[in-house]
Amino acid sequence: MEAETFLIEVSNRGEHFACRQGDLLLIAMERAGKRAISVGCRKGGCGMCKVRVLVGTYETLPMSRAQVSEAEQHAGFALACRLRPTSALQIESDHFQNRSGPTT
């Protein structure tokens, strides 16, 4: 029996792709040949793939609190490399912020 597939809509990019149940969101996007989410370390530490889930359900693997605070996580923010959809999702990408401070 094949795993269920969920449609992922990246609303601020006007793109969509499929994600198989159990797959990480970032891997599914790359497999689909899309570039709707920025890619960094792929391990939850850099924050480049930070997204906000607007609609849908999901689970996350542990994420760096330096990149996604507890309050942000409760507001729907997550790292795409640590996010597994459990339904179709509508998300926004491009929430990466350089937290190292201003450059001089």
Quickly count: other Cβ atoms within 10 Å of residue 69's Cβ.
Answer: 12
Confidence at residue 10, expressed as pLDDT on a 0 to 100 scale? 97
Q: Which of 96, 3, 13, 92 is nearest to 55 (CA)?
A: 92
d(CA 1, CA 68): 35
Confidence at residue 104, expressed as pLDDT on a 0 to 100 scale? 35
Confidence at residue 98, expressed as pLDDT on a 0 to 100 scale? 55
**Residues of the chain predicted below pLDDT 50:** 99-104
